[in-house]
Every structure is written in structure tokens, then in C-alpha cells.
Chain A
Amino acid sequence: MADAMVGAQMDEPLDDAAYNDAIERAASRGSYWSGSRLFVALSAMMFAGGAFAFFYLHSLDSSGMWRTDGQAPPDYVSVPVLVLTLGGAALFWGYTRRLLRGSAVTTDWLVATGVSAGAFLVAAIIQFVGMLNTGFFPGSTGYASVYVAIMPVFAVYCLGTAYWLETLFARVLRVRWVVSDEMPARDSMERTMFLGSAVGAKAFVVFVALVSLILFLLFSVLS
């Protein structure tokens, strides 16, 4: 809510535009924060549906066709995807944390974000290409079906993450002062929106990394 923000800033009466602007900035910052968490929540519900399908069909083992012996995606797909998503998330999370604390050099953050976006993009490409060579027919078993269903969704999420990070990267590349803590940039809507987006992305990459780990455990580790 905007109250605390406005109250804290107002030493003098503000004209309508400045008053509205102050409230809008606080609301926008909050919107990015809660919006990103809500996006994580709704994404979690969708992946939970996939996890439900996994365990439900696993436990039913209809016609003894849950999974054939040794049926698993190739390691040369699943391992790189895991490494790239975990690494990309860690890199972006760490540097953005420093940026938000004011201790990061902008160029370092740019490099880290660019690399991280690239990592998620490559992970998505590997996963998509990997779907063409899983080594099993989609409908051969319940396991194969769930894998063929869920992994493209995850690849789309990797692609989406790469897109989100790229927008942050491109924004700073174009307008460096959005990360500046000096006036007038500090009180600008531009900066508010950039930082809000960065804070949201910081939470989101952690979620995607977590999903990556869980999917790896489900499809490549659990027997």
C-alpha cells in the first residue's frame, strides 16, 4: 500500500501531479513485488499439476505401463539444462542482490545478467532440441507421456526467464541511470519500474531453478 511511502516522503504539501506520482511509484514498486510472487504462485500451481500427474500415474501403474526399465531422458540433455539453469539463476540472483544493496558496479551486473540470460536461453534450446531425441515414443508409457508433456513447458519457462533478463539487460544498456541512486533518477518512475522488475526477476529465477532441480530429480534420479 502506498501510505507509508507517501507519508515518509512528504515534508511539504505536494501539488496534485507530484502527489499522484509519489503514490504511483510506491504502488508500482509493490505491484512488481507482489506480481512476481503471484506469478511464481500460479506457475507453481501449474507445475504442481504436472507433479500430480507424475505421482498419480506412477502410483496407478496402469496396465503395468508406468515406466519401462531404464527409460530416462539422455543425460546430455538433462544435466546441461540443470547446470545452466542453476548457474544462471545463481549468477543473476547474486549480482542483482548486490545491485539492490548499492554495492555492485553496473558493468558487472550487466555482464552477469547477460550471461545469465544466455544460460537460460541455451537451456531452453537444449531442452527443445532434446525433445526430438528422447529415446522413447511419447505414448510408450505413463512416464514418457508426463516427460514429453512437462519438459516443453519448462523450456518455455526458461525462454521466458531469458526474455525477462534480456529486457533488464537492454534497459540498462540503453539508459544506465535507471540504476543510479542520485536525484532526479532516484525518484523517477523509470527507476522504480526497472528496480521493481529486477526484484521480481530475482525471485523468479530462484523459482525456475527450483523447478529445474525438482524435474531433474523426478525424471532422472527417481527410479
Chain B
Amino acid sequence: MATDTTVAAGVDAGGIPDPHVGRGVWWRRPGLFYGVIGAVIGYAIGTWLGTWLAEDNQQVQGLGHNDFAVTLGYLVATIGWLAGMGALTYPLQKMAGLQPHVEHEEERTLGRYFRYTLDHKVVGVQYLVAMIAYFLVGGLFALAIRTELLSPTAHLFQPGTYLEIVGTHGTMMMMMMTSAIIGPFGNYFVPLMIGARRMAFPRLEALSFWITPAAFLVLLSGILIGGFPSGWTGYAPLSVEATQGMDAYLVAFGLMSISMIVGGFNIVVTVINHRAPGMTWTRLPLFVWGMLVTGMLMVLAAPVLTLSCYLTLLDRTVQTSLFNVQQGGSPYLWENLFWFFGHPEVYILALPGFGIAGELLPVFTRKPAFGYKTTVAGIVGVGLLSFFVWQHHLFDSGINADMRPMVMLTTEMISIPTGFIFLALIGNLWRAKIRLTVPMLFVIGGMLNFLIGGVSGVFLSDVPTDTVAHGSFFVMSHFHYTIMGGYIFFFFAGLYYWLPKMTGRMLDTRLGKVHFWSLFVFFNSTFLPLFAIGELGMPRRVFEYADSLQALNVWVSISAYLIGVSMLVFVYNFLKSTVIDDKRPLPENPWGSRGLEWLTSTPPAADNFVRVPTVVSGPYEYGTGAGPMAVMSSPGYPRVPEGVS
């Protein structure tokens, strides 16, 4: 190893160009092609290793299948995939004492979307396309569920297959969709909105994304090896006894938890450290607040999920007995660990949506954000309290009865900060000049849906009502109102709002309104009756039900199909606007937003800002006569940034 002991050698000595950057033929640098090859080779190595290690194992011989081989196959395939993408290059260079620079790609080729790119905007677009794909696949499984439930007695699927489908749908939505907002919009817009030229750890950002295709494919592959019968919650002891499809669930959820940790970590560190001069905490956009707290939840809750999946894999492979009562374990251990992640996860899904609503409402009501500090307090309060409520998922599964009132209290308390947020959001509409654009429609629709979801959640937080409604379609309807009715509506609001910035293309407004109204009507037509169906006694995850509930179920299924049609309208609009139509010139700031992200070029330059901006006012000073919120590019300005104490 060459040693350079002189300062005069220059500050760049020892640094090397980033291998992912720069022109060159695609096969001479890491990328998707080598990722796939790495995955295939990794799978072969992992499977061979697992077979070699455990083929003589008594349990493996008894089971007739080797969970070691399946698990190691998945894990080594993922490592091979990431290695092929180039994720290991940097750590290995670090071991050699090198320090690769972060250099942004100036070239705007299609190929960069298939590489381990370090540009947060490219990662944002990668996330956007991937999340839409994951969501649509999960939605197809939902349609399969509704098709099966058209009749209480005539069956399309066998009961075990039905459980597989329900589990895959649930896991796809609850696992992959955790990053539906923080992935595309968080990664793309947080640096732009805080005046940063990049993310704190660009390689971690790329890692967080490239893990998601692996998790997605591993989860789907579970279908080919018997699926998993446990639904998305993976309860023990069923998870320990289930067939190999369960390995797919555990590896996929574990991988996705790592993606969440890495992605959330990066967002938090970026917001704390990379804010531009003058971007004080009280000027921080509400969307960024939402991302910050969501990132914290991911960082602190997801490690417990990683551990939980790992523990179950150990029970299934090396024969620990963590969840086996007869040998000193307990299935309640899983319930506690899983829900310690699982309930904060609910807010991982809720808070980004609130952030989008808070961000968009002032733009389309043309007045300062109502109750900014109240909203922030609500977001932070929800984040904190979310760690103290998980045991309400154990109300009916054997928790000490004396504990229930306390957990009921903490659960109900969370409605207080949620109420802060909600009241402040509604306050934005007060005496406002409301512009009913497509993003605004989705925000209002999301708020209405979330209200129903939130209020029904208060019922479920009460022990007596939960005891009755537990495990029924009432619960199912409740969380679909909060997640699909809230989160996904807010996601679409963000998509319609920010896509012009991301791509320079505007989604068709007329089709957008058709999309919104059809989705809003048919969403409610699907899930409102499910409250009644639940109250009438229909349990979740059972493919047979009372004959008397068939009419309602048929109604719900037809409505669900119409949601599918609504999504097709969106897909058509998205493809038409972004891929098929020729690019038409757009106004730089089509919504008239004050946001810092709209003060850059469209699409933004590689490093976002020529000169790091100096923020001089808040992002929501509509109608106050305030000038632009930042000084953007003025050579030599400022000697001492304004607003700096």
C-alpha cells in the first residue's frame, strides 16, 4: 500500500472517482445485468451451502424440506444481487483505505435508473416506479380475494390457497408499501426542500431502494413453494410449523426491515445536518417533519422486526425453541416483538400522508399553514406515543387482563396528537380560496377517509368493543380506511402534485379527476359495507361465510373490481403522460407553490442548487406579501447568511 505523508501532495490524494459514475459501456460497470447474474449465482451457492450444511440433519430429513437451503439461497442471492449492482464496491474500497468521492451524474440516460446511482432524484424515481408496481401487484391479489368471496360456498381457490393469497396481499401492502411515500417523495424532495445538494449517505439511499426488488421477488416466490398460511402478521407457532413459503415471508420482511432502517436513517441524518442556512426547525416544511418522524420510527422500530424474523428463522432452521412452549419458549414473544414494530408501522404509514396533506393544503388554499406548530407537535406526539400502544393487539390473545386498561388508555391518548394534526389540516380550509385541483381532491378525499378510519379505530382501542370486533371484517375495514383511504390517497396527491417536478410532465387533469372520483366512490362503496359485514360476524381470513352475507359481499366485490378499473385509468394516465406523449413545455411552477423545491430548475440539476440557498422565510407565507423563501444563487452572497444566529 502506498503511503503519502505530505500535505502538499494535495487534498485529493487517496480519493478515487466513484465507480458508478461516468460514461462507459453498460457491461463495464455494475448494474442490473450483473445484479441478476449475482442473484442467480448467489442463490445457487446459498442453496448448495444450505444443503451441504443440513442435509443430514434429522429435522430436515423428517420435514422433507431443507429450510436452511431455502433461507441461505434467498440471503446469498440477495447479497449476490447487491454485489452485482455495485453495493459492495465502496465498503471494499474503504477497507483498502480509499475514499471514493460522491460525484453526481450529469448524463441523463435511461440507463442510470437501472444502476446503483447516488443521485437522490434518480433514487426517488426508481422508488416511484417500483412502488406503483408493488402496489398494483398487491392489488391484483386483493381482487383475487374478492373473487373468491363472491360466493359463500362455490370456491375458486382451495382454503389453503386462499390463505396464501390473503397473506401475500397483506404482506405486500404492509411490507412493501411502508416506503411508498418516504421512498419516492422523501428521497426526491427532502434534500430539495431543505436546500441540500445531496443526501447525507447517498450509498445507503441506493441500498435502501435496491433491497426492495429483492424483498418483493422473494415474497412472491413464496407462492411457488407453498405460500404461507399466517397472513401478514406471521404468528407463531404457525410460522414455525408452516412450509417453506414461510421462509420467503421471513426473509422478505427481514430484508424490507433493513431497507426501512437504512432509508429512514438517511432521511433523519440528512434533515438534521444538511439543512441550508436559514432553514430553521420552525421553517421546516411539514412534509419534511413528516419524513423526519417517519424516519425515526423506521430506525427505532424496524430493528425489532429484523430481530423477530431472524428469531423465527432460527426456530425453523437451527431448532431453537423461542416460540415453542414445551421447550421454554412462547408464541407471545413473537406477538410482542412483532407488534412493537407493527404498531409504529401503522404510523409509518400515516405520518407521511399527514405530511403531504400539510404541505399541499396551504398551496391550494393560498393562505399560511394553519396551526403549523400544532401540526408539528401532533406529528412528533404521534411518533412518540406509537411506541406505547402495541399491546392492544394482544387484548384478545391472552394478555394479562389487568394490563388492558393501561394499554387502552395509551391507545386512546394517541387520538389527541392525531386530533391536533387533523384539526390543523381542517383549519387550512377555513375562509380559504380553495383550488380543487387533482392533488387537492386527493388530499380532501384522504382526510375524509382517514376520519372514518380514525374514528373506527377509537372503537377498536376500547377493550369491550375490541373483544367483539376483534378478528372480524370490521377491523379489516378500519385499517383499510386508514391505509388505503388515507395513505394511498395522500400518495396519489403527492404524485399528481410533484410529478411535474420529477419528470417535467403533468398528468392529465381530466383523467386525474376521473381517477379521483371513481376511486373515492368505489373505495367507500367497497369498505363501508365491510364494517357492517364485520359487525354481522364475518371473520377475517376465512373463505366461507354465512349465506345471508352474500349480497353484501357481492356488492363489495363488484366495487373492488371498479377500484381496479379506476386504477387502470390511473395507469393509462401515468403511462400516457410520462412515456407515450411527447414532452410539452410546462410552467416551472404549475401550482404556484412557495416551496424551495419549486425554486430550482425542472428537473433539478445534478447537485440541486448551484449555490446552497439561504432561506429567509417560511414555506407557507401565502397572502402575506412575503418574497421568495430563499435567496438562490448570488455569487459572493452572503458573507454571513441571514437568519443565522
Contact = CB atoms under 8 A, between A and B. Distances in A.
Nearest to A66: B328
B301 interface: yes
Nearest to B307: A49
A42 B97 contact: no
B319 interface: yes
Interface stretch (A23-31, A85-93, A96-104, A211-219): A23-31
Contacts of A139: 315, 319-321, 324, 327
B328 A163 contact: no
B311 A173 contact: no
Interface stretch (B148-156, B330-338, B543-551): B330-338
Interface in A1-54: 1-4, 6-7, 10-16, 19-20, 23-24, 27-28, 30-31, 34-35, 38-39, 41-43, 45-46, 48-50, 52-53
Nearest to B322: A145
B328 A63 contact: yes
Contacts of B14: 171, 174-175, 178, 190
B110 interface: no
Contacts of B612: 2, 19-20, 23
Interface string B299-332: 1111110111011001100111110111111101
Contacts of B633: 16
Contacts, number: 243
Interface residues of A, number: 80
B329 A184 contact: no
Interface residue SS majority, chain B: loop
A170 interface: yes
B278 interface: yes
B158 interface: no
A62 to B, nearest CB: 5
B1 A15 contact: no
B197 interface: yes
Interface string B66-96: 0000000000000000000000000100111
Interface of B: 1-7, 9, 11-15, 91, 94-99, 196-197, 200-201, 261, 265, 268-270, 272-279, 299-304, 306-308, 310-311, 314-315, 318-322, 324-330, 332-333, 336-337, 340, 607, 610-612, 633, 635-641, 643-645
The 9 closest A-B pairs by CB, nearest first: A142-B328, A65-B328, A170-B97, A174-B97, A13-B636, A175-B14, A30-B273, A188-B11, A145-B320
30 contacts: A1-B272, A2-B275, A13-B639, A16-B633, A16-B635, A23-B277, A27-B273, A31-B269, A35-B200, A41-B300, A42-B299, A43-B303, A46-B306, A57-B329, A62-B328, A65-B321, A66-B328, A139-B321, A142-B329, A148-B320, A163-B91, A163-B95, A167-B95, A175-B4, A175-B13, A176-B3, A176-B5, A177-B7, A185-B7, A190-B99
Interface of A: 1-4, 6-7, 10-16, 19-20, 23-24, 27-28, 30-31, 34-35, 38-39, 41-43, 45-46, 48-50, 52-53, 56-57, 60-63, 65-67, 137-146, 148-149, 153, 163, 166-167, 170-178, 180, 182-185, 188-191, 193-194
